[in-house]
Each structure stands twice: as C-alpha cells, then as structure tokens.
Amino acid sequence: MGFFDRSWNKKGADLFDLRKYQDAIACFDKALKINPTYADAWNNKGLALYNLGKFQDAIACYDRALEISPTDPEILNNKGVALAKLGKHQEAVACYDRALEISPTDPEILNNKGVALAKLGRGEAEKFLGD
C-alpha cells in the first residue's frame, strides 16, 4: 500500500464522518483507482453507499473487500447489516456466523445476529441480543 491510496481513503473517512457521503465515495474511488486491492477503501465505500440507502451497491463493495480480506469480521458484519436491510435475514445470519468464527465475543455482531434471528422467528435469538 502506498501513501496516496491511504491519503485518499483517510480523506474519504473524514468526509464520511461529516456525512458527506458522495464526496467520501469520490475519495474512496480515487484510492481504489490507485490500489484496487485496498480492502479498507472497498469497505468504507460500502459504508458510504449504505448510508445513502444504496444497499445492493454497498453489498457489492463488501463482496469486493471480502475477496481481498475474507476473514475480516467488520466487513462480514457490515455485509450482514446491509443484507438485513434488504430483508435477507438468513443470508445476514450466515455473514454474522462467519464473523463470529473470527471474533466470537464481538457484542455488535452478536446483537446483529440476534436481531436477524428474531426477524426469522427463531427462538435462540434471545441469547444473542444485548440488554
């Protein structure tokens, strides 16, 4: 990884924090033009697209990130959240399960899995949901 791809990703993250999602995406795209295998930039672009309500596009970015970094629990969780927004709770649970294999005590992932299981009407949801 080079300096410029990281710089564009950082600028995009700063714009994301300011809720300037379109501008953030432009920065992530510049980072990805320099380094198309930059998993963090793909993940961050997915987050920005998610916040714009473009869930399918976000999932496509998470998939690209997972091709590069298949065991990143944050990316798996983010994909699960986007799938859940589309009502694809069973697919979301599969993402959370993969994430929990890597990070078994992550409270956010555990809670997200519980919510998805509850949406599916599965009784074991309570053991995953936080207080």
pLDDT digits over 58-77, tens only? 999 999 999 999 999 999 99
> In whole angstroms, what is the distance from residue 22 CA to residue 115 CA?
29
Helix axes 39-51, 73-85, angle to 10 degrees: 20
In which band, very low, low, confident or very high, does the pLDDT at 1 lie, cut at 50, 70 and 90? low
Q: Report whether 114 contacts 131 (CB < 8 A).
A: no
pLDDT digit string, tens, across residues 12-60: 999 999 999 999 999 999 999 999 999 999 999 999 999 999 999 999 9
DSSP state letter for 103: S
Mean pLDDT of 94-119: 96
> In whole angstroms, what is the distance from residue 47 CA to residue 58 CA?
7
In which band, very low, low, confident or very high, does the pLDDT at 3 lie, cut at 50, 70 and 90? confident
Q: pLDDT value at position 26?
A: 98
Which domains, and CATH codes, for the chain?
1-61 (1.25.40.10), 71-131 (1.25.40.10)
Q: pLDDT value at position 125?
A: 62
In which band, very low, low, confident or very high, does the pLDDT at 131 lie, cut at 50, 70 and 90? low
Residues shown for the chain: 131
Q: pLDDT value at position 124?
A: 73
> In whole angstroms, what is the distance from residue 44 CA to residue 41 CA?
5
Does the pLDDT at position 81 exceed 90? yes
Q: pLDDT value at position 4?
A: 94
Residue with the two structure tokens 């009407």: 121
Q: pLDDT value at position 17?
A: 98
> In whole angstroms, what is the distance from residue 101 CA to residue 120 CA?
21
> In whole angstroms, what is the distance from residue 73 CA to residue 45 CA?
17
